[in-house]
C-alpha cells in the first residue's frame, strides 16, 4: 500500500490588507503554522510522502526570510515531499523557486520539479507525474503530457497538477490552466492530486482538490483540510480521508434589520463568536436610536473577542421613533434639521454622512437633556 498526504494552496506570504495590522499579521502567520501542522500530521500518520499541488507561495516577491521559514516549517516530516509551482508561484526562469535554490534552503527530501515529468520514488513504490506551471496563465492542458509518460511497471501512478477542471467547478472562475475532467482515466492514474480551487472537492473517486489547509477568504467551499490518501495497489480505488487542519473560521453574514428583536438576535449570534472567528458583517435595514446604540455595542464587544471583524453598517438607516422625536421637539430648529437629515439618508451619495450626523444630533440632544449635560 502507498500512503500519502495531498495538500495545496498554502499561499505563503499572503497579505491581508483589508484587516487591521495586528489581525493581518496573525492571519499571515497562521499559514506557516498550518504547514507545521501538516508536517506533524505526516509524521504522526507515518505517511510515505506529502504531495503539494501548487501555489506554495502567494507571490514571486516574498522575502528570502519567508522562503527560509517555509522550508523550516516542514522539518517535522523527514520523508519525501513533492511540490510543484502553481499560477501564483509559476516556475519562471527567475522565480521564487530559483531563488530558493540559490539560497540553498530546499532540504534534500523535498523534490521540486520545474518541468513536466516523473518524480520516481521507488522506495515507496510511487511515481509522481508532475505538471508544474511555468507561466501564470496557459490555455493548454499541461496534464495532457501525463498520457504519454511511462513509469516503472507496478508503480502507483499519481498525477500532481494545478488548474481548473473544465466544467466541474461549482463557481465561475478563470478559464486559464484547464485540466480535462477525465485526465485520471486517460493517463492511467491511480490518483490525480490537484490544486487551485481553495475548497476540498472530489471531481471523481480518483481526482481531488485538497483545497487550502487554512481558510483565507469569505467563501464557504469547505477549506481547511488536507487529504489522507491510501492506495492498496495499482488500479485499486483510493481511500481518501479528509483531515481538518484550519485554525480560523471565516464567515460572511448579511443581515437585514427591521425590528429591535432582529438586532437583539444578531447581537446574540455575535456573542457566540470565539477567538478563531473571522467575520465580515453587512447590516442593512432601519433602526431607532436605542437599537443602533445597542447594536454598536454588540459589534464592539464582538470585535474584542474574535480574530478579526469587518463590519459594514452603511446600509443601516436611522429612523427615529416617538421617543427619539420627543427629545428633538425641544427645539423647532433641531427638529427641522433632524427631519432633513432623515430624508437625506435616502440619497445613496449622502446616506452615510447624513446617518452619522443624525445619530450625533440625537445623542447630543439626549445628553443635553440629562442632569449635568451639555448647556
**How many CB atoms are closer than 10 A to CB 29?**
12
Which of the given ranges, 168-177, 275-284, 354-363, has the highest pLDDT on average? 275-284
Computed from CA positions of residues 40, 43, 47, 53, in that sequence, does the dihedral angle turn out positive or negative?
Answer: positive
* 344 class by beta-carbon count within 10 Å (0-12 exposed, 13-18 middle, 19+ buried): middle
pLDDT at 235 over 90: yes
Confidence band, pLDDT 50/70/90 cuts, at residue 336: confident
Q: In what order do the strands lie in the sheet with 49-52?
A: 110-111, 81-83, 49-52, 2-7, 225-231, 239-244
pLDDT > 70: percent of the chain: 92
CA distance 315 to 25: 29
Taking the C-alpha atoms of residue 186 and residue 191, their distance in angstroms, rounded to an integer, is 12
Q: Is 291 helix (H, G, I), strand (E, B) or coil?
A: helix
Distance of CA 290 to the CA centre of its chain: 36
Residue whose entry in the numeric block shows the C-alpha cell 530558493? 100
Domain 2-244 has CATH 3.60.21.10: yes
d(CA 288, CA 74): 54
Above 80 in pLDDT, residue 330?
Answer: no
Stretch 98-111: mean pLDDT, rounded? 98
pLDDT at 373 over 60: no
pLDDT at residue number 361: 74
Query: Of 242, 39, 231, whose CA–CA distance to 128 is shortest?
Result: 231
Segment 267-308, tens digit of pLDDT: 999 999 999 999 999 999 988 888 988 999 999 999 999 999
Domain assignments of the chain as residue spans, ordered by start: 2-244, 249-369
Q: Residue 353 pLDDT > 90, yes or no?
A: no
Q: What percent of the chain has pLDDT over 90?
A: 77
Local confidence band at 328 (pLDDT 50, 70, 90 cut-offs): low
More confident residue, 220 or 332: 220
Decide if pLDDT at 172 tops 60. no
Q: Give the pLDDT of residue 362.
A: 72
Which has more pLDDT, 248 or 364? 248
Among the listed ranges 47-61, 149-163, 332-346, which one has the minimum average pLDDT value? 332-346
| Residue in the block written with cell 499519481 | 158
Across the chain, mean pLDDT equals 91
The three grid cell numbers given for residue 150, joined into one nine-digit string: 511511462
Distance of CA 25 to the CA centre of its chain: 15
pLDDT value at residue 261: 94
| pLDDT, tens digit, 9 for 90 and up, residues 312-323 | 998 888 777 767
- Give the burial string for 202-218 (b: 16+ CB within 10 Å, else e): ebeebbbbbbbbbbbee
Least confident residue range of 127-141, 254-268, 333-347 = 333-347
Q: What is the pLDDT of residues 36-73, one digit of tens each?
A: 999 999 999 999 999 999 999 999 999 999 999 999 99
Q: What's the average model confidence in pLDDT over 89-113?
A: 97
Lowest mean pLDDT, pick from 15-24, 111-120, 348-357: 348-357
Amino acid at each position: 500500500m502507498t500512503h500519502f498526504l495531498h495538500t495545496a494552496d498554502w499561499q505563503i506570504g499572503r497579505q491581508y490588507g483589508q484587516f487591521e495590522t495586528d489581525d493581518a499579521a496573525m492571519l499571515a502567520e497562521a499559514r506557516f503554522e498550518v504547514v507545521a501542522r501538516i508536517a506533524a500530521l505526516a509524521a504522526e500518520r507515518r505517511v510515505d510522502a506529502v504531495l503539494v499541488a501548487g501555489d506554495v507561495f502567494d507571490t514571486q516577491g516574498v522575502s528570502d526570510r519567508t522562503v527560509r521559514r517555509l522550508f523550516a516549517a516542514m522539518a517535522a516530516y523527514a520523508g519525501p515531499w513533492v511540490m510543484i509551482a502553481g499560477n501564483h508561484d509559476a516556475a519562471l526562469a527567475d522565480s521564487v523557486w530559483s531563488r530558493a535554490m540559490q539560497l540553498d534552503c530546499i532540504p534534500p527530501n523535498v523534490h521540486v520539479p520545474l518541468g513536466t515529468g516523473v518524480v520516481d520514488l521507488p522506495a515507496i513504490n510511487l511515481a509522481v507525474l508532475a505538471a508544474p506551471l511555468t507561466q501564470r496563465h496557459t490555455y493548454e492542458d499541461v496534464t495532457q503530457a501525463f498520457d504519454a509518460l511511462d513509469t516503472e511497471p507496478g508503480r502507483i501512478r499519481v498525477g500532481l497538477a494545478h488548474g481548473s477542471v473544465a466544467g466541474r467547478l461549482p463557481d465561475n472562475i478563470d478559464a486559464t490552466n484547464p485540466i480535462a475532467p477525465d485526465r485520471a482515466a486517460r493517463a492511467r492514474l491511480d490518483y490525480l492530486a490537484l490544486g487551485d480551487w481553495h475548497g476540498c472537492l472530489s471531481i471523481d473517486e480518483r481526482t481531488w482538490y485538497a483545497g487550502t489547509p487554512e481558510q483565507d477568504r469569505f467563501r464557504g467551499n469547505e477549506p481547511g483540510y488536507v487529504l489522507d490518501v491510501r492506495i492498496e495497489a495499482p488500479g485499486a480505488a483510493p481511500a481518501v480521508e479528509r483531515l481538518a487542519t484550519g485554525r480560523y473560521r471565516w464567515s460572511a453574514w448579511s443581515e437585514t434589520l427591521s425590528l429591535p428583536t432582529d438586532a437583539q438576535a444578531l447581537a446574540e449570534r455575535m456573542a457566540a463568536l470565539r477567538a478563531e472567528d473571522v467575520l465580515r458583517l453587512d447590516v442593512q435595514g432601519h433602526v431607532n436610536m436605542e437599537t443602533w446604540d445597542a447594536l454598536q455595542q454588540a459589534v464592539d464587544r464582538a470585535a474584542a473577542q474574535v480574530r478579526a471583524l469587518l463590519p459594514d453598517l452603511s446600509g443601516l438607516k436611522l429612523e427615529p421613533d416617538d421617543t427619539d422625536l420627543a427629545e428633538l421637539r425641544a427645539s423647532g430648529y433641531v427638529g427641522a434639521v433632524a427631519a432633513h437629515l432623515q430624508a437625506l439618508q435616502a440619497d445613496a451619495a449622502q446616506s452615510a454622512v447624513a446617518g452619522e450626523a443624525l445619530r450625533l444630533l440625537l445623542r447630543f440632544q439626549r445628553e443635553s437633556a440629562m442632569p449635568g449635560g451639555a448647556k
